[in-house]
Structure 1
Amino acid sequence: MKTQEKVMITEDDFSIGDLISVARHHAPLELSMSVKKRISQGRDIVERFVEEERVIYGITTGVGENSKIKISASDSRELQKNIIMSHACGMGDPLEKEIVRAIMVMMIKNLSLGYSGVRLETVERLAEIVNKDVIPFVPREGSLGYLNHQAHISLVLLGMGEAYNQGVLTDGETALKKAGIKPIELHEKEGLSLINGTVDMTAIGALAVYDAINVLKASDIVSIISFEALKGTYYAFDPKISKVKRHPGQKKTTDNIHKLIENSEITEKFKDYRTQDALSIRSIPQVHGACKDAVDYVRTIVEREMNSASDNPLVFDDQEGARAISSSNCHGEAIALAMDFLAISLSELAKATLSKILRV
């Protein structure tokens, strides 16, 4: 994948490649005009709720067990800050910088859908932190899980916490000042929205999927090197075999094998060296193909989640009128199961690849 000069969040789906460009290769991130409008429209809904004094979780009420308590607009703003501070209680070594950048990008993408009802200023400020490479110090461990990661990121938005600026770790206020960024004051619902959702597991999952795809490519190459070293016969890779085993990953692997052994004097010389190779050699298309199909499935799940609204509550304004709906879109079960599947497939691939190397 070539690094893009700029990545734009638009109405179209955001891809793993887009995330990698920003998080790993530092491509600048921008919001399209249509997305800015969408964010502002979502904020208008929240402000209407506040003006009308509707009873809505996290906007005009407390959170958790305090959701039965109605609060004023001024108290709600104080609550948003307190939500961030109380949840920023992680411990241990920090997350890798590219992971923190990836989480911030996914926070921006999630909020840009307009269903969270945060201010455009808040989303733009988070994008500015990403583009100026201010990287919050985010402890890896914490019983609050994703709430902990996003809370430590959000602290820096407020000029608090700790962050790296030009590789130097300092307090959040100093890091922002050196980068020419002003801290913000949170308004109604914004603290809740900043720490909510599945953005951290989705970001980490996207990085894992991207790396897994590269591992799959390398495994094909390593396996064919072993195949040649072991004087393997290529008859097991006849396209007819994959045609009658109808899994797309197997066909992709078979096609790739033929590209790799094309014009190979070694494979041609030893094609009749033995009647049948060891299972670990002749099953390369079947094993690698199944792993590729698994990774393709995981990629689909991750990219669906990347483009989903995962806050709670979510705000809507349609033919049924303006309303906020409390739900569990912030639950990460889809990503959790997909990551388990990814781990299984990569473990299987590693075992199969290693078995061929050990035979050489």
Structure 2
Amino acid sequence: MTRPLPAVPLGRSPLTVADVAAVAHGAPVTIDAAALTGMRALNALVRQAVESGQPIYGLTTGVGDLYTVALKPEELAAAQMNLLRSHASGVGAAMDVPAVRATMLVLMAAFLKAASGVSPGLVETMAAMLNRGVTPWSPSGGSVGYLIATAHIGLAIFGESQAYYEGVLLPAADALSRAGISAIAPGAREGHALISNTCEITALGALALARVQALLPLADLAGAMSTEAMRGNLRGYDARLHQLRPHPGQTETAAHLRALLAESAIIAAHRDHRLQDPLSLRCIPQVHGAVRDALAHAIRVVEIELDSVTDNPVFFIEDGALAALSGGGNGHGMPTALALDHLSTAIAALSSISQARSDRLTNQHLSGLPAFLGDGSGAHSGFMIPPYVAAALSADNRMLAAPASVHSLSTCAGQEDHISMGVAAARKARQAAENLADILSIELLCAADGLEFHAPRAPGRGTGAGHAVIRTAIARRTTDRPMQPDLAAMRILMDSGDLAATVAQSLPSYWGA
């Protein structure tokens, strides 16, 4: 029986990448009462400004190139819904449910900072939707960095368009009703606040980061198992070497490899097999470590965004009165777009070194193992083809590493003439991370069979634990059988967390950091 996920609190402390991933995959949320009180006080002043006719961008005026057009008080409510309707211009396949939930969460965290002027009721309705499983439908394509997915989400919040409930796509009003959620009408600025931000970039970026963060320890495991299978040595992982080039990720990766390979009879028996290993083995600390450092940088950027307000305009209470600040550029997604482009490049590097190891494992001229890890007969192909798959996916990831953030175009009649393409950067990173998972599954599968040829010599403490858990789900390949089920079983071990958890139990506490 699946244990319920703990609730993620909102409004008191900043969100983390882990928080976003948890809510995306079903965790409920709670809201801090003090944050709602702050929202309520600001919203009251916003409503007073509307009644007085004070000119405020996006509130009592149009948006974009229509910022010079004043709205009449009786037009404001309709204008908020019309903003959502006109901006809900997405195309392509539907966004996945975790992506929509993550975007809703990031929106809520920003609103709870009481700078957007929206009502507490909007956030409470969104919380009810997350907690009761009502997920707005949105297409996934068409966003330059903001506006599109959040407009579709906004329509569903107010009972228009469509939403999922209990796995069924329904009219949004029906989905809300079945979940026992009362539909609300948009208050002053609430349509505009939903679209005037970079929350979609941040949400999708956080999901990509969480995925890579979970895969990095498995990349270390795969590399360590490959090192053992190909009679590598530990000289490249020596702590003294890495003290001379102390990049944090490099030293951390080398420590992981030493822990994984501790007590390896295979390594001990082949200490002098080669004076120097190939780069894909001896440079695991440098390559995996550089990926760790890139990941750490991207997490810092995204977690700053998770603690930010990227709305325009924003509001403050100064001396008891409302102060509106419009024209700011916090809605530009370039900080996150650049970080996510960097992440995609790092994923491509990790993909290519894993693919190189898989190819070497199955090449009898380089590995010292039987051809394609088979029985030596021409009747069986063994692991000939999985490295082809890894090569195809690695090539895909090289294409996905091309930066999105350089492709700015002018939009909105020249008013928004430089854009981040941050959503494209985030989508690329998510796809690349999924490709990486399959690439690593291939290396793990090949390396597990490669270790079999060293029996009865035992692998290391961590690699042995990893090999053992793989064997609980996937038998050694002694003759050809369909390959895809084994690859799928490996992904289940990886994605469930079972493989990482089993290895972690066998190692010191720094494993998985």
TM-score strictly above 0.5: yes
Tell me which residue corresponds to 1:341: 342
Displacement after TM superposition at 1:146 (Å): 2.7
**8 Å CA contact 1:87, 1:144 repeated in 2:** no
Match in the other structure for 2:453: none
* One-letter identity of the residue aligned with 2:137: F
Answer yes or no: is the 8 Å Cα contact 2:143–2:149 preserved in 1. no
Normalised by the size of structure 1, how large is the TM-score? 0.96
1:29 Cα offset (Å): 0.5
Q: How far off is 1:27 after superposition?
A: 1.6
Helix, strand or coil at the partner of 1:322: strand
Which residue matches 1:128?
A: 128
Tell me the CA shift for residue 42 of structure 1: 2.5
Q: Which residue is 1:76 aligned to?
A: 76
Give the equivalent residue in structure 2 for 1:225.
225
Relative to structure 1, the CA distance from residue 119 to residue 320 in structure 2 (aligned partners, 3 Å threshold; closer, same or farther) is: closer
Identity rate, percent: 34
Partner of 1:164: helix, strand, or coil? Answer: strand
Amino acid at match of 1:239: A
Question: Is residue 166 from structure 1 mapped to residue 166 from structure 2 by the alignment?
Answer: yes
Q: Is the 8 A contact 1:134 1:163 kept in 2?
A: yes
Aligned to 2:302: 302
Alignment partner, residue 37 of structure 1: 37
Q: How far apart are the structure 2 equivalents of 1:265 and 1:159?
A: 64
What CA distance in whole angstroms lies between the structure 1 residues aligned with 2:104 and 2:118? 15
**8 Å Cα contact 2:145/2:333 also seen in 1:** no
- 2:243: which partner in 1? 243
Structure 2 counterpart of 1:190: 190
1:305-344 alignment, distance < 5 Å: 305-318=305-318, 322-326=322-326, 327-344=328-345
In structure 2, how many angstroms separate the alpha carbons of the residues matched to 1:217 and 1:82?
Answer: 47
**1:100-127 residue CA offsets vs partner (Å, 9 max, x unmatched):** 1111111111111111000000111011
Offset of 1:268 from its aligned partner?
Answer: 1.3
Mapped to 1, the partners of 2:167 and 2:214 lie a distance apart of 28
Q: Aligned residue for 1:199?
A: 199
Post-superposition CA distance 1:107-161 (Å, at most 9, x none): 1111111110000001110111111111111111226653110111111111110
Q: SS of 2:147's equivalent? A: helix
Tell me how far apart the structure 2 counterparts of residues 196 and 219 of structure 1 sit (CA, whole Å). Answer: 38
What CA distance in whole angstroms lies between the structure 1 residues aligned with 2:272 and 2:99?
49
Q: Secondary structure at the match of 2:54?
A: coil
Structure 2 counterpart of 1:117, which letter? G
- Of structures 1 and 2, the one with the larger relative CO (CA 8 A, separation 6+) is 1
Runs of 5+ unmatched residues, structure 1:
none
CA change 1:193–1:132 in 2 (3 A) is same
Runs of 5+ consecutive residues of structure 2 not aligned to the other structure: 362-513
Distance in 2, matches of 1:155 and 1:32, equals: 25
Cα distance in 1, alignment partners of residues 96 and 303 from structure 2: 22
* Distance across 1 between alignment mates of 2:182 and 2:7: 23
Q: Is the 8 A contact 2:42 2:322 kept in 1?
A: no
- The CA RMSD measured in Å over matched residues stands at 1.6
1:45-60 to structure 2, matched below 5 A, reads: 45-60=45-60
Match of 2:355 in 1: 354
Aligned length, in residue pairs: 358
